[in-house]
Structure 1
C-alpha cells in the first residue's frame, strides 16, 4: 500500500528523517513509536504530501506520489490528529459530511454514510447526529474525528497521536474501539503514531521503532519483545517493564 525508498527530510543542516526504507502492506495496522524528534510525524506528513521529502521516493499503491495531485491523494487518505479539529459551528452530521460534500455525493448517499459511520463509532445517529462538538466529551469528539476521516472511504488512515490529550480511562476505551473498527473494515490500512509503548504494542499488527530519524526495528510486537533489534529498542522495552514492575510493587 505504501512504500518509502531511501527517504530523507532535512531542514538546512538538520536531518530529521534519514534514508528510511519502509513497506506497509494493505490491511496492516502499523504503529510508529519513538521519542520526540525521532522523525515519526515527519514521515506521516510526507505520506500525504503535507511535507515533501528532500530525497528518495514514496509510493502509494505502486505510484510515485510526486506525480499525483496532492488534493486527489489526500482524498484517498484519512487523517486524524490529536487536536481533533471538528468545526464548532457544524453538527456532528455536518462534520462527517464535509469531504463527501466536496466530492459531490448526493444527499441520500451522504445521509446513509453518516448513519453507517455513527453506528460504527457507537454514537447512534438518532442521539448524536444533530449535536454540536461542544455537547460531546473529548473521547466522543475524537471518535467523530475518526468517522469524519473515514467518511469518503479512504484506503489509508493516518493517525498522529490522536489519543495523546485524552485521559487514561477514555484512551484505553478508544484503543479498543479503534482496534474493533480496523478489524471490521476489510483491507483498510492504518498508520498510527504514538510515544506510548503500551499503545504501540497493543494496537499494532506491526510496530516501527524510530530514533534520530532512522528506523531501529520494524516487526510484529511479539518479535520485537523477544528479540530487540539494538540497544535503543532494548532500553525502551526494559524501561517499560521497569515501570510496570513499579506499578506491581505499589499494589503488593
Structure 2
C-alpha cells in the first residue's frame, strides 16, 4: 500500500489587505509516487498552495504534513532542502557554471567532492544534456529549454522525495514545451518521486497528471483522474474548462 506523501488538512491562506481567501479550506491527500497537476487560472490559489508546502508562505489555518511530519514543527530551511522546487524563471545563478549550479544544495549538505561530481554527471545525463559539453558552461550560454533542464537537475540534486514545479514551462516555446513534458514524464517514471506541477494549461495538466486538482477562487473544485474529470465535471467551472478545450479541438479540426 502506497504511503501518504502529502496531507493537506483544512488549509487556508487569507489576503491581509482584503481579508479574502487566497486558499480556502483545502483538504487533499497525495500518495507517494503520484504525479499531481494543479490546474487553474491566475488568482485561483494554485501557486499559493504550492508555496505553503515548502513554507515560503505559512497557512493561516490548517496543517500540512509530509510523510507524517507536520511541517509547522520543523525548521523551514530543513523543509525546503528536503523538497525540489522548480519555477518558471529557473533562477540559475548567472555567475556560476552549470556544474556549480547543480551542486549548490549537495555542497550545502556537505557531500564529499567525489559524490557531488558523480551526482552532477548523473543528473545532466538524466535531463538529456551531455555532462562533458555542458557542465563548464554558464547559464547565459544555454537556451531557455536547456536552462529549464538545468533547473530540474538542480532541484533533483539532493534526491528529494517531493518535487514542486510552478509553471516551469510557461515561458518556453510550444515545441520545446512538448519535448520537456515528455522528458518530465520519463524522468518521473524512472524515479518514482511525488511531483506536484502547477499549470494554467488544461492540455498540459491532463497530459502530465495521473490525477488533477482543479482550483478556482482558492477552492478545490475537483480532484480526480483526467478521464473522470473530462467525463463528469464536478461543477460549472470545471465544465467550462472542458468545453473550452473541446472548442480548441474543433478549431484545429476545421483547418484540416
TM-score, normalisation: structure 2 = 0.96
Superposition deviation, residue 11 in structure 1? 1.6
What are the Cα deviations for residues 91-122 of structure 1, in whole angstroms up to 9, with x where unaligned?
11110000000000000000000010011001
2:91 corresponds to which of 85, 89, 108: 85
Alpha-carbon distance in 1 for matches of 2:81, 2:21: 29
1:239 and 2:244 are equivalent in the alignment: yes
Match of 2:9 in 1: 5
Q: Report the CA distance between 1:82 and its aligned residue.
A: 0.3
Residue 212 (structure 1) aligned with residue 217 (structure 2):
yes
Q: CA shift at 1:221, angstroms? A: 0.7
Matching of residues 22-171 of structure 1 within 5 Å? 22-171=28-177
**1:54-113, Cα deviation, whole Å (9 max, x unpaired):** 001111111111001111111110000000011111111110000000000000000000
Deviation at 1:230, TM superposition (A): 1.0
Q: CA deviation at 1:227?
A: 1.1
Provide the secondary structure at the position in 1 that maps to 2:240.
Answer: helix
**In the TM superposition, what is the alpha-carbon distance from 1:241 to its structure 2 partner?**
0.4
Partner of 2:205: 200
Cα deviation, 1:181-216, whole Å, max 9, x if unaligned, reads 000103x00000000000000000110000010000
User: Partners in 2 of 1:88 and 1:35 — Cα distance?
Assistant: 31
C-alpha distance in structure 2 between counterparts of 1:74 and 1:17, whole Å: 21
Runs of 4+ in 1 over 6 A off after TM superposition: none
Secondary structure at the aligned position of 2:96 is classed as coil
- What residue is the counterpart of 1:184 in the other structure? 190
**Partner Cα separation in structure 2 for residue 156 and residue 208 of structure 1:** 17
Rounded Cα–Cα distance in structure 1 between residues aligned with 2:15 and 2:127: 39
| Per-residue CA distance 1:2-26 (angstroms, 9 max, x = gap) | 1111100002312111110001110
**Structure 2, unpaired ranges of 5+:** none
TM score, norm. by length of structure 1:
0.98
Report the count of equivalent residues.
250
Q: Which residue of 2 aligns with 1:21?
A: 27
